[in-house]
Structure 1
């Protein structure tokens, strides 16, 4: 089973409640994702977004570029002992979402992957290892990057927080 990265946009009231009631935040994220899975929505209209197994590659490539926001770990833990997955959910506050959105706008996908080969990701033990055997692996990651950037821009526009989960 592979680990996937998931983001959920939360209104200010929802993010406040998420801190007070972490189990509620997990349930909300799951309900929103399930409801959206049945509909064809643009990235801008979604409340949930998944980057699949590209989460680790995106984190690695963004870190390599000195990106000012760690979109996985630069967020406060939301203690949820019942949360399935790999570590507790995290909450990226609206101010950090705005910084991320502005920084993503300045980093085109070809610059993100510039000077990197799939062998570099494999040697750095970026998961999933099987992805780096594909010829189009970097294009797959760049596609996830473009969608994530659009999702983060929407969150910033609405001054939403992001609930970040790995699982």
Structure 2
């Protein structure tokens, strides 16, 4: 079983409803995921985005860079329901989404990986662990694996910020 980083853009009214009724929010996430699974919109056009298995790599890199927003896990819990996957879901209010979008835009992937030793990733047990899909962290080019997902996450946050959306965040 894999751990996948998941995001859903929501309006202020949808965020309020999600906080009041997490079951409704869970149903909304499934509805949007199902609808977008077939159309596969670009990150800047999507309501749902996934960082797939790179969530922990991206979290490690952003934490190492003292990123000011927890863009990987969200910041505010809104449900205790474990049905969401690994731990309860969290959210970022629109103000934090805007802040994260600006910081993501200002921080290149090259800046994030600069000076990172693959041994650091293995020592920190960054998921997926060494030797597990796609590569062991010691393999040449292993850090490049996260570039595509970081770029997509940046575009997703920028679009959410432009629309004044909040964000639901969870690991599935």
TM-score range, shorter chain: over 0.9
SS at match of 1:91: strand
| Gap runs ≥5 in structure 1 | none
Q: Does the 8 Å CA contact 2:74/2:169 hold for their aligned counterparts? A: no
Q: How far apart are 1:67 and its partner, in Å?
A: 0.5
TM-score by length of 1: 0.94
State yes or no: 1:136 paired with 2:145: no
TM-score by length of 2: 0.92
Runs of 4+ in 1 over 4 A off after TM superposition: none
60 and 12 in structure 1: CA distance in 2 versus 1, 3 angstrom threshold = same
5 Å matches for 1:38-57? 38-57=38-57
Question: 1:61 matched to which residue of 2?
Answer: 61
SS at match of 1:125: coil
More displaced stretch, 96-105 vs 70-79: 70-79
Q: Does the 8 Å CA contact 1:23/1:83 hold for their aligned counterparts? A: no
Residues 61-90 of structure 1 show CA distances to partners (whole Å, capped at 9, x for unaligned) of 001001000113442101142523111110
Q: 2:150 aligns with which of 142, 145, 152?
A: 145
SS at match of 1:44: coil
SS at match of 2:44: helix
SS at match of 1:38: helix
Q: How far apart are 1:31 and its partner, in Å?
A: 1.0
| Gap runs ≥5 in structure 2 | none
Q: How far apart are 1:139 and its partner, in Å?
A: 1.1
